[in-house]
Amino acid sequence: MSENKSFCTCTDLGCPLNPANHNKGCDLCIQKCLKLKEIPSCFFKDINAEKKPDGYTYRDFADFVLREE
């Protein structure tokens, strides 16, 4: 199990990339996000943990930040 799984705030434990499911920390999640030009869920949760974003693209993140300011 990953040493930083407690650090990750992602609640999708069914995701095979979630650090709870392997020992590679954030690597797999970040690799996927970079490939898809997305922002990891932990950044959204840092802004508002209660609100589910419309999407995870860079633009979705920018819009999320502006709405939550």
Query: Which residues make up the interface to ligand SF4 (CB under 6 A)?
Result: 7-8, 10, 19, 26, 29-30, 40-42
Q: Minimum distance from CB of 33 to ligand SF4 (Å)?
A: 7
Q: Rounded to 10 degrees, what is the CA torsion of 14, 64, 44, 37? A: 70
| Closer residue to ligand SF4 (CB): 30 or 62 | 30
Q: Minimum distance from CB of 46 to ligand SF4 (Å)?
A: 9
Our measurement of the distance from residue 35's CA atom to the centroid of its chain's CA atoms, rounded to an integer in Å, reads 14
Q: Minimum distance from CB of 62 to ligand SF4 (Å)?
A: 18
Task: Single out the residue of 4, 11, 5, 1 nearest to residue 45, CA to CA.
Answer: 11
